[in-house]
Amino acid sequence: MKKNKGPSSRRAEILQLYQSYAADLPTLPACALLKFLHKEQMELTANEDTAESLIDRYEIEETAIESRSMTFEGFLRYMESKDCCVFNQAHTSVYQDMDQPLSSYFISSSHNTYLTGDQFVGKSHLDAYVCALRKGCRCLEIDCWDGSDMEPVVYHGYTLTTKILFKDVISTVAQHAFEVSAYPVILSLENHCCQEQQEVMAQYLISILGDMLLTAPLDHQAGDLPSPNDLKYKILIKNKKLKLQVKREDTSGAEESAGEGEYEDDDEEEEEDDEDHQTKAKFWSPRKAGSKKKEKVLVAEALSDLVIYTRSVKFISFSHSKDNQNYYENTSMAEMKARKLAKTSGPDFVKHNQKFLTRIYPAGSRTSSSNYNAQEFWNVGSHLVALNFQSLGLPMDLNDGRFQDNGGCGYVLKPAVLMSSERSFDPSCSKQCLKPTHLLLKVISGSNLPNSRTGKALDPFIRVEIHGIPSDSRRKNTHTVKNNSLSPHWDADMNFSISVPELCLIHFCVRDQTGFLSSEFVGQYTLPFTSLKKGYRWVPLRARDGCSLDPASLFVFVWYS
């Protein structure tokens, strides 16, 4: 028997499938392959041509090719290929409608993007911006403070985190902004600079970003935000903006030209992360924190002029926003406040997010740069759910899974349930629909799993988690297989009932049983329910840092209805 160069443990399972369709024939004819595609893989659009093109792609034995059939080795190559990955390969490119207003999308967003570690003594580094952008992040945070010699700096205020120059951050963004995605980048400025240094910032933004910087409104549907397509290759500045106070000339309603109006700062905007910086101020400089009120700094006109569609305003209430907020204004709120609103006013939050952009950021108390689970805020349609990209773990795995969709471009269209004007949606209400989706996941086997940190073979089990609205969120484990990293076999059926599948993420996690109640992370893979392929599929595995663990993988059977 020929030695199989690919993962070996699935060979037996795949051979069984092959034989059941080849019957007693020496090779699998195109018509039998087509039957397999229809019946097992649920490739309902497949036809004779599909089967023949698979033979041409994966079969290497001349006699089989000539007789339009497939040997077992060819079938194995097909089953181990991207064509049989659990993630729908059509979703590795942009396939969603990119002509909706920005408020119709989840947007990959980073918090304290400049940090590579914790928030007290961590390093600020330009590489952190490069890494975030390469992961498809489209909203970056820049924490700006006055530096020496009129050079604004970026760091976590009132802490010992290192400082980097604002101009270097902008140069890095200019260089890498559109490396993996053509869609707009939003620079969320947390601005603590004096007016003079803000003017320096504005000059850098204009001179370094050039044509990439959006400096004037576009010609588009009035009253709505422009779409990702409208804003391709553009960089938007999110910051406070001066209000134009226009004086009345006379009772006829004639007004002065805008140029002659008086500017005033938008006093409503709370300093984002204010509580955060107060925490730091108390921690590092008691005298500074004790002062009654920090001096209010106006936004410099030059910087204010660069804020077009992403003007930061203070969130007061959903009814206040409905009556007063403009479509080009957005609000930011800390996770605690957002969590409370999601629980008490879910439908209002969903409605609000249909029109206005909302940014959620981690609590100031998360000094170790830990993350929350973004799913709870995606459930209410929040767009810019910001995470510490440098902190690895489940929250970032889920974020990577969510934004792997739609070609990894950083923009994922929100499901219709979050955008409906007719029906209100409350994620905390468990009865969402009359007919839930039934999902069957059969975890068959694993292949080439990495050994434990001590070099010993694993005692592996698989945990499958569904992350969606609270009533859909579930977790199930297989049994543990002793001392087998190479080819563990579980054959475990898992059944889930899901009422809002279009919001769900499926998280596969391989764990090593290290004690009666203890286990360690080995590898994981996360994908949206809507990207799941039916049938016999393999699941790629990723390390904690998101890197591929190839050739390690799982073999599963997926069915839902």
List the catalytic residue out of 91, 125, 156, 507: 156
Q: Which of 494, 391, 492 is nearest to 439 (CA)?
A: 494
Q: Parallel, antiparallel, or unpaired for β 535-542 and 411-413?
A: unpaired
Mean pLDDT of 218-244: 92
Concatenating the DSSP letter of every residue in 337-365 gives HHHHHHHHSHHHHHHHHHHS-EEEE--TT
Query: Tens of pLDDT along 354-397?
Result: 999 999 999 888 888 889 999 999 999 999 999 999 899 999 99
Lowest-confidence region among 284-298, 310-324, 436-450, 511-525: 284-298
**Bigger pLDDT: 265 or 233?**
233
Q: How far apart are CA 308 and CA 314, in angstroms?
A: 17
Who wins on pLDDT, 218 or 118? 218
More confident residue, 348 or 423: 348
Segment holding 278, helix H or strand E: helix 274-284
Contact call for residues 64 and 55 (beta carbons, < 8 A): yes
Handedness of CA 339, 341, 347, 348 (dihedral sign): negative
The arithmetic mean of pLDDT across residues 536-557, rounded, is: 95
For the question of residue 156 being annotated catalytic, the response is yes
Cα–Cα distance for residue pair 553/548, rounded to 1 Å:
10
Residue 283 pLDDT > 90, yes or no?
no
Confidence of residue 247 (pLDDT cuts 50, 70, 90): very low
Question: Looking at 91, 111, 125, 467, which residue is catalytic?
Answer: 111
Beta strands in 398-547 (DSSP E): 411-413, 437-447, 460-467, 474-477, 489-498, 505-513, 519-528, 535-542
Whole-number pLDDT of residue 291: 42
**Single pTM value for the model:** 0.90
Cα separation values, 462 from 168, 240, 396, 553, Å: 44, 47, 19, 12
Residue 448's pLDDT is 94
- CA 187 to each of CA 21, 190, 215, 348, 456: distance values in angstroms, whole numbers, following the listed order: 55, 9, 13, 27, 46
The pLDDT score that the predictor gives to residue 76 is: 95
Catalytic residue at 111?
yes
Of 289-303, 400-414, 430-444, the poorest mean pLDDT is in 289-303
- Whether residue 154 contacts residue 163, with contact meaning beta carbons closer than 8 Å, is answered with yes
